[in-house]
Amino acid sequence: MEPQARSVTEHVERALALVAPVPAETRSLEDALGSVLTEDLYASVPVPPFDGAAMDGYAVRLADLPPDGGQVTLQVTGDVAAGPSGLTEVGTGQAVRIMTGAPLPPGADAVVPVERTSTGRFVAGAPRAEESVTLARQSRPHVRRAGDDVRQGELLARAGAELTAALVGALAASGTVRVAVRRRPLVAVVSTGSELVPLGGALGPGQITDSNGPMLAAAVRAAGADVVRLGPVTDDPAALRRVLDQAVRADADGAGADLIVTAGGVSAGAADVVREVLAAPGSNGRGATDVDVATVAMSPGKPQALARWGGVPWLALPGNPVGAYASFELFARPAIDSLRGVEPSGRHRPPRAVPLAAAAGWSGSPGRLLVVPVRVVPLPDGRGTAPGAVGVLPAGSHHSLSALATADGLAFVPPDVEKVRPGDIVHVLMLR
C-alpha cells in the first residue's frame, strides 16, 4: 500500500531544516547587487549634502520680494552651475542665475524658476546677457535643503534586506562604499537519466535533450544564487556518486556547493538511480545521510527526496519538467532564500504568487496540490468585473513541457478543491 502522502507545507519545512545562511563577506557596493545585508546601514553624509536649487532659475533673497506677489526688478550679478564653483554672496536687490542641483549661494534663500521671470528661459551654452531680471515671490522656495532626503546617521537598510538597484543608489548617495553581505550561494544542478543528451548534442535512438538541467540552472540564477551545471548523468549509481562528490568541491578554489539540486531518478522505477544511491551507502564511508524519501501530495511532482551528500544539503526533484519547475519554486527557492539570509516566503504557497480569477473551469486533484500551467486572458463579460480585467486559463496538460513553455504562470490549486469554477480565485506564480 502506498504510504500516506506528505503535505507540501511539511516538505517545505523539512527542506528548510537542511539549510542555514551562508557566511558573510565584505564587498564593494557596486559588486553586491542581489546580495543580502548582514548588518544595518546608516547614512554617512546627508542627502543632499548642501542646500541647493531644485529648479533652473534665479537665486534671490525673499526679503527683496513683496509678500503680496508684486513684481520687482533685481540686478543679475553672477552664475552658479552644478559642481564646484565660487559662490558670490547675493546682496540686497541682487539675483544670481542658478542651475538645478547647484549649491545655493550665501545670502539667498529661494529660487524663482526661469520660466516665471522676464527672461523666460535659458539657452544651453549661451553666455549670460541679461543685466537684470523681473520676477515675483513664488508659493514655494524651490530649494532642496541639506538632509531633506536623508539625514546623516539615518537608518537606510536593515540586516536581511536585499540589495536592489534602487537601494544601491540610495546607499551610494549617502556615502556607503563597502557592505557586509551574505555571499551568493553556490548551487550544483544535476540532471539524471540515460536517455538525456547535453544541450546541443546529437540525438540517438531513444534519446532526448536534457531540458531540466538548463531550466533549473536558470531558475537558480533568477533566485539570486550562482550555479554549477553537472551532468546529465546516466542511470549508473557509481557515475552519480562521482558527480555528487564533484559537486561538494565544485569551484576552482576547492569550495563546494552549498546546495545540490537533482532532477529525475527519484520515482519508484527499477532504473531510478537517485533512489538507489540514497538507499545504499557509498564506498569509503561516503554516502547519503539524513535521507528522507517522500511522497508529496502534489501533481505533478509527487516523488521527492531530501538528504545530505558530504554534508551538503541535497534536494532531489522529479524528472517531469512541470513537476521539476514547480518543485523548485516550492522547495528549492525557499531553501536558496534561507542560504542567502532571506526569510523564506514560500512556506504555504510559492513566493511571488498573485491571486487571479479563473476565466473558465477545470478539474482539481482532490488530496493533492495541483500545478497547472496557465495563460493570462481577458475575463469574459458579464461577470461583474472591471473592463480589461484578466484571468487565467490552462495552457495545456499540466504534465506538458509545451504547456510550460507557453504559460504565463503556474496556478496552484489547493488539495481540498475538487473543481475550479469560472471566477474562482487561484494563486498564480507569474513566469513572465
Q: What is the pTM of this model?
A: 0.83
296 DSSP β-pair partners: 6
Which residue spans of the chain are classified as CATH 2.40.340.10? 353-430
CATH 2.170.190.11 residue ranges of the chain are: 52-144
Neighbour-count burial of 213, counting CB atoms closer than 10 A to its CB (0-12 exposed, 13-18 middle, 19+ buried): buried
End-to-end CA distance of the chain: 41
Fold of 52-144: Molybdopterin biosynthesis moeA protein; domain 3 (2.170.190)
119 alpha-carbon distance from chain centroid: 48
Residue that is written with C-alpha cell 531513444 in the block: 206
Separation of alpha carbons 322 and 343, rounded Å = 26
Rounded Cα gap, residues 183 and 35, in angstroms? 7
Superfamily grouping for domain 27-46+150-182:
Molybdopterin biosynthesis moea protein, domain 2 (3.90.105.10)
Please state whether beta strands 419-420 and 362-363 pair in parallel, antiparallel, or not at all (unpaired). antiparallel
| pLDDT per residue rounded down to tens, the chain (432 residues) | 456 799 999 999 999 999 999 999 999 999 999 999 999 999 999 999 999 999 999 999 999 999 999 999 999 999 999 988 777 899 999 999 999 999 999 999 999 999 999 999 999 888 888 999 999 999 999 999 999 999 999 999 999 999 999 999 999 999 999 999 999 999 999 999 999 999 889 999 999 999 999 999 999 999 999 999 998 999 999 999 999 999 998 555 667 999 999 999 998 777 789 999 999 865 555 689 999 999 999 999 999 999 999 999 999 999 999 999 999 999 999 999 999 998 765 444 455 789 999 999 999 999 999 999 999 999 876 555 555 688 999 988 877 888 888 999 999 999 999 999 999 999 998 887
CA-CA distance, 361 to 383, in Å (whole number)?
14
CATH topology of domain 8-23+184-340: Molybdenum Cofactor Biosythetic Enzyme; Chain A (3.40.980)
CATH 3.90.105.10 range(s) for the chain read 27-46+150-182
**Which CATH architecture fits 353-430?**
Beta Barrel (2.40)
Which residues share a beta bridge with 146? none
The helix or strand, by DSSP H or E, that contains position 371, with its residue range, turns out to be strand 369-378
Spatial distance between the Cα atoms of 129 and 340, rounded to a whole number of angstroms: 59
Residue spans in the chain of domains classed CATH 3.40.980.10 = 8-23+184-340
Q: How far is CA 312 from CA 186, 218, 285, in A?
A: 11, 21, 15
- State the cell numbers at 210: 536534457
From residue 148, alpha-carbon distances to 46, 48, 154 in Å are: 8, 7, 12
